[in-house]
Amino acid sequence: MSFIDYTIMVIELKQTTTFARWEARLRDKRARTIIAARLMRLAEGLAGDVEAVGEGVSELRIHYGPGYRIYFQRRGNLVIVLLCGGDKGSQARDIAAAKKLAKEWSPQDG
């Protein structure tokens, strides 16, 4: 009989206060549920529809409602920092904010 060893790694999601405030302001309960499910999959290493936007920042695209976006940056193999969120309408402004937050964030922040 042979055995197969599996190593399961869960990625730690950290968030900026900017992201936490954005998420708390979401009023659409279905959107909150969809976003929570996507973040759980992200923590399992299943990013889905993601696009690099520059300077190490990526955009997680959620095809629901106004086209929600979550901006994040990987820090090593096991940490993802959730920088900020928005939607298709505020995309350019959100990308600029995410890049700024990525430069300012340190592990002591969360």
Summarize pLDDT for 13-44 with one digit per residue, the tens. Answer: 999 999 999 999 999 999 999 999 999 999 99
Q: Which of 13, 17, 18, 68 is nearest to 43 (CA)?
A: 13
Q: What are the residue boundaries of the structural domains of the chain, listed by start? A: 16-104
Percent of the chain whose pLDDT exceeds 70 = 95
CA distances from 98 to 2, 44, 78, 88, 95 (A): 48, 22, 20, 14, 5
Q: What is the CATH number of domain 16-104?
A: 3.30.2310
The residues that bridge with 72 in the sheet, in sequence order, are 58, 82
- pLDDT reported for residue 81: 93
Instruction: Tell the residue number behind the tokens 């969360």, with chain if given.
Output: 110
Per-residue pLDDT band for 110 (boundaries 50, 70, 90) equals low
